[in-house]
Amino acid sequence: MTQSVVVQVGQCGNQVGCRFWDLALREHAAVNKKGIYDESLSSFFRNVDTRSGGDGPDIYKGKICSLKARALLIDMEEGVVNEILQGPLRDVFDSKQLITDVSGSGNNWAVGHKLYGYQYRENIVEKLRKTAEHCDCLQCFFIIHSMGGGTGSGLGTFVLNLLEDEFPEVYRFVTSVYPSGEDDVITSPYNSVLAMKELNEHADCVLPIENESLFDIVNKIHQMINSGKLGSTVKQNSLVTSSAGSTKTVQEKPFDAMNNIVANLLLNLTSSARFEGSLNMDLNEISMNLVPFPRLHYLVSSLTPLYTLADVNVPSRRLDQMFSDAFSRDHQLIQTDPKHSLYLACALLVRGNVQVSDLRRNIERLKPSLHFVSWNQEGWKTGLCSVPPVGHSHSLLALANNTCVKPTFIELKDRFMKLYKKKAHLHHYLHIDGMEQSCFSEAISSLSDLIEEYNELDATKGGPRTDPSRLKIAV
Amino acid sequence: MSIVTVQLGQCGNQIGHEVFNALCSDVHGTHGLCSKKENESYHDACKERFFSEEESEVPVARAVLVDMEPKVISQTLSIAARSGCWKYDDRSHFCQKQGSGNNWANGYSVHGPRHKEAIMNLVQKEAEKCDRLGGFFTIMSMAGGTGSGLGAFVTQCLRDAFPTSFILNHVIWPYGTGEVIVQNYNSLLTLSHLYQSSDALLVHENDVIHKICAQLMKIKQISFRDVNQVIAHQLGSVFQPTYTAEGGLHYSRNPLGDLMETLVPHPEFKMLGLRNIPQMPENSLPYSTFSWPGLIKHLRQMLIANAKMEEGIDWQVRPPQLGSSIPSSHSTNKPLHFNTSIANLVILRGKDMHNIDLGSFRDPSLYTSWLNPQDAFNAWKTPRAFNKYEKSAALVSNSQFLLKPLDNVVGKAWNMFASKAYIHQYTKFGIEEEDFLDSFTALEQVISSYTIL
């Protein structure tokens, strides 16, 4: 069994991260009734003896003493991290896992990446090493951040770089929240494009998320609950947006519902690595199967179901509905429709009481309506994990490597160019030590190249299929 | 002689477990509708082949369990121990913490050499427990990373360490519509490498077994466990003891050797397919009766029409008329859907076996011209019924059964290779484009050889 470490950077990263740890505890508590520290817990948590002040050796077996998250919390402002440390999760983190400063990054990628990066480099490396030492077999770093600001975007991608240098063998999965069109941070296009270059070059897999999609899902659920349709009640803890059953007893903050969705995404992604099933899907398999070319590692994700009805006498047509929903526009976590674009690869991670025949039936059913690239017509990777998420009997996470990410990137590029042409706000960046005009031109060039790669693939869509001729053997 | 089973990867371990279950429940759960003496001989022969007698109350499977991550092995060991019928040797397993990530190169080039010593030590220990070693039976899937990549490496090591022992690889062919995206690459590399070190490859296709579960066993929600149980049943029908000689007095002691001798006359032709009839849900058994002529007729038609199960057989397919007496190596007068065989083995289990006519299987028109029909066909029998079926017949065939699946896999892999997709994942671990090309060449050769039969 392997371990993973979560590195949460910036306000967004830490708020999402906080929800992740909360829901992770909830999930394990539901599965682990006896309170024994087992291998699945160890993938994200350490078990320490609190008497020695959290400094003592980890306890590998036996009863759970005190669980500590395998995490690093980084923020250049204190507000968010302080709140976490005063909240119900304070015992899950210790002070040695935090790196904070006071003044923030001013929504400036250069401040986050060059200034703070340089300043905190050694500190970060040291803390990473410590976390890695506590791991028996470290498999993956999960970075959570936003792209539009300064800390998450700048310092977050600095850490990404660092991870590649210091831990080249460990996978780097990045969950990135992309800014929306109406983002109130004027410089978010600069920050995002500068960060994109780093993601292109140093991440193994990126899961892009857009706030608008999360918002739409939250609204959809709201409507569902308030409409009182069917007279059935929704199971509270099954909502993909809910914190019910977790440590949060205080009134939920506005972003909590949205952040819970992302937290659930990460839990589902790692479920097959943590729990048993008839067809396991580990994190290294995700990277192997979904990344056909090194730079095309952006995966569009969708989660279903969004809620479970409390009435259990619902027929199993719902199972097939779950698969259909995973491909519908309004379940995707970015504003896009994969059905009308080209699939390079698709992964389906199913949890709960679902068997291989259900999986096969639905793949057969949905395949005709999806466009797959010519050299990967059966590009499906599947996983079956026996343990369902809290409140559900089954669930599905779909990860698509699909050209439908292209519009997001094109928009980003356009917004960047609008500012860059006028050299707006550029001086805020250029006066930071280590920052030059070339950083900008290289970044936009990297993004353009990426868009071009997707364009080339799209050009093959719907064209005539000529399979390359096979090797001829002399008889 | 005893067989040491090596279970590789998630699939190999899940199936291996069901195989030992099936063997045990056949021996202990049923009394075989034969004499007590017969039953006892059968029991002893089975024990010798697959289980060792140690100071435990239950027989211990002669197996080595290998996986690069711990979840499946720990599950397999505990479920077996809880059965109370048999168990694995607690020390006879090897696992690591992080799997192979569906990467053949990772399994073959990284995990293989790194863990060779530890794994071979375990194999050596199991081999030493045998009074006489009859050979190795490895179970693996082609689609993943460990079973396929590490499995290919281990097979090579087995060949190096035991040059005179028989090695039979049981290979699981993945579902056609993907379980793993890079499954065609992994399959290509596995098959081409196994071909060099293995004596024969016994293949089960997931798609076929799935159909059997759906249409014959009438299972509604088919799980991998259901699939694995059908596979285990079919393997049991081949490996349980039989009399290989007409009028033989003792159960054959050398199953793998006998298998190779009858079915693999030429190293270019190693692909073996397996059919087993009848196959039905357990609660239908009391209402069914079978006759040997009926079973044999079905099995023969399944052979020549390349039917995967006993429903939906194309009865129109006929063997070609042998017009001329001069055998030609490029028989162009063979009807299109006819499945040509090199060698066939029929295994019959059950009562009332006197006067069974297997002449239809000895028909020379079924076979290529370069073996005598008498040598090309063999039959093994036992009056002891297998696993609640009062009569059952199995066919192990070295024929064009697997030509189409093989061609499909190579075709898809070639298609993907032409675009260079995913290649960087393999070169990362030391498998280069030339290695791919070598494998393509090797398998196109096999395809060509089977095509012109």
Tell me the CATH number at A433: 1.10.287
**A251-255, B40-44, B408-412: which is most confident:** B408-412
pLDDT of A182 > 80? The answer is: no
Output the pLDDT for position B453: 83
A383 min Cα distance to partner chain B (Å): 8
What's the CATH number where B183 sits?
3.40.50.1440
A165 CB-near residues (< 8 Å, 6+ apart): none
B14, B421, B440: residue with CB nearest A375: B421
Residue B256, pLDDT above cutoff 50: yes
Residue B310 has pLDDT above 90, yes or no: no
pLDDT at position B134 over 50: yes
Closest residue of A to B407, CA-based? Answer: A470
Beta bridge partners of A172: A141
Do B23 and B167 fall into the same domain?
Answer: yes
Out of A316-320, A470-474, B79-83, least confident range: A316-320
B327 falls within a domain = no
Whether residue A196 is contained in a domain is answered as yes
Domain-located, residue B311: yes
* B238 and B346 assigned to the same domain: no
Mark whether A192 and A309 lie in a shared domain: no
A389 and A417 belong to one structural domain: no
Same domain, B297 and B189: no
- Indicate whether A432 and A361 sit together in one domain: no
Q: What is the pLDDT of residue B74?
A: 92
Mean pLDDT in residue range B218-231: 94
Last residue of a domain, one of B400, B415, B440: B400
Extract the tokens encoding A465.
């299929």
- Among A57-61, A305-309, B116-120, the range scoring the smallest mean pLDDT is A305-309
CA distance A389 to A403: 30
Q: Determine, yes or no, domain membership for B329.
A: no
Instruction: Please report the pLDDT score of residue B322 as a whole number.
Output: 60
The shortest C-alpha distance from B356 to chain A (Å) reads 39
> In whole angstroms, what is the distance from residue A125 CA to residue B189 CA?
40
CA torsion through residues B323, B327, B328, B330, sign: positive
| Domain containing residue A257: CATH number | 3.40.50.1440
Do A134 and A221 sit in the same domain of this protein? Answer: yes
Compute the nearest-CA separation of A181 from chain B (Å): 34
Mean pLDDT (whole number) for A224-244: 67
Which token pair is B260? Answer: 């190779």
Residue-level pLDDT at B165: 95
For residue A234, being part of any structural domain is answered with no
Same domain, B24 and B74: yes
Mean pLDDT throughout B299-309? 93
Give residue for tokens 């990777």. Answer: A381
Chain B CA closest to residue A287: B101
Q: Are residues A223 and A131 in the same domain?
A: yes
Percent of chain A with pLDDT over 70: 91
Structural domain harbouring B207: 2-269
Residue A413 domain flag? yes
Mean pLDDT computed over every residue of chain A: 88
Position B445 scores a pLDDT of 95
The pLDDT confidence band at residue B327, using thresholds 50, 70 and 90, is: very low
In a domain, A272, yes or no: yes
Of all residues in chain B, the percent with pLDDT exceeding 90 is 75
Return the higher-pLDDT residue of A90 and B142: B142
> Residue A331 domain-assigned?
yes
Write the pLDDT tens digit of every residue in B332-391.
555 567 899 999 999 999 988 888 889 999 998 899 988 888 889 999 999 999 988 989
Domain-terminating residue out of A260, A289, A318: A289
Share the mean pLDDT of chain B: 91
Question: What pTM value is reported for the model?
Answer: 0.92
Q: Are B11 and B68 in contact (CB under 8 A)?
A: no
In a domain, A296, yes or no: no
Q: Is residue B325 assigned to a domain?
A: no
Look at residues A261, A289, A317 and tell me which one is the last residue of a structural domain: A289
A361 and A449 fall within a common domain: no
Average pLDDT of B173-196?
A: 94
A315 has pLDDT over 60: no
Is there a single domain that holds both residue B369 and residue B448? no
Q: Which residue in the set B98, B225, B424 is minimally distant from A2, CB to CB?
A: B98
The pLDDT-based confidence of A225 (bands split at 50, 70, 90) is: confident
- The total of structural domains in chain B comes to 3
**Whether residue B409 is found in the same domain as residue B393:** no
CATH classification of the domain holding B377: 3.30.1330.20
Do B62 and B165 share a domain, yes or no? yes
A345 and A275 co-located in one domain: no
User: In terms of domains, do A276 and A322 share one?
Assistant: no
Q: Report the DSSP beta bridge partners of residue A8.
A: A73, A144
**Among candidate residues B262, B271, B254, the one with its CA nearest the CA of residue B3:** B254
Number of domains in chain A: 3
* Domain match, B417 and B390 both: no
Do A257 and A136 lie in one domain? The reply is: yes
Which of B102, B223, B415 has the CB atom closest to A285's CB atom? B102
Same domain, B259 and B215: yes
Model pLDDT, residue A293? 95
Q: CA A244, CA A391: separation in Å to the nearest integer?
A: 10
In terms of domains, do B442 and B360 share one?
no
Residue B329 has pLDDT above 50, yes or no: no
Q: What is the pLDDT of residues B136-145, one digit of tens each?
A: 999 999 999 9
A369-414 residue pLDDT tens: 999 999 998 889 999 999 999 888 889 999 999 999 999 999 999 9
> Could you tell me the residue range of the domain that residue A411 belongs to?
407-460
**A26 plus A92 within the same structural domain:** yes
Tell me which residue of B67, B65, B117, B140 sits closest to B97, measured CA to CA.
Answer: B67
Least confident of B60-64, B268-272, B371-375, B378-382: B371-375
Higher pLDDT, residue B167 or A48:
B167
Residue bearing the bigger pLDDT, A171 or B325: A171
Residue B410 lies in a domain: yes
B-proximal residues of A, 56-115, CB under 8 Å: none
Residues ≥6 apart with Cβ < 8 Å to A467:
A374, B411, B414, B415
Is A387 within a domain? Answer: yes
Residues of A in contact with B447 (CB under 8 A): 473
A172 found inside a domain: yes
CA distance B183 to chain A (A): 9
A428 and A400: one domain? no
Asked whether residue A349 falls in the same domain as residue A200, the answer is: no
In a domain, B144, yes or no: yes
Q: Which of A280, A291, A468 sits opposite B71 (nearest CB)?
A: A280
B393 shares its domain with B437: no
Distance CA A360, CA B221 (A): 11
Same domain, yes or no: B365 and B292: yes
- Chain B window 310-369: which residues touch A at a Cβ cutoff of 8 Å? none
Average pLDDT over residues B144-166: 95
Measure the CA–CA gap between A462 and A195, rounded to whole angstroms: 33
Residue B396 is assigned to a structural domain of this protein: yes
Could you give the ipTM of this predicted complex?
A: 0.89
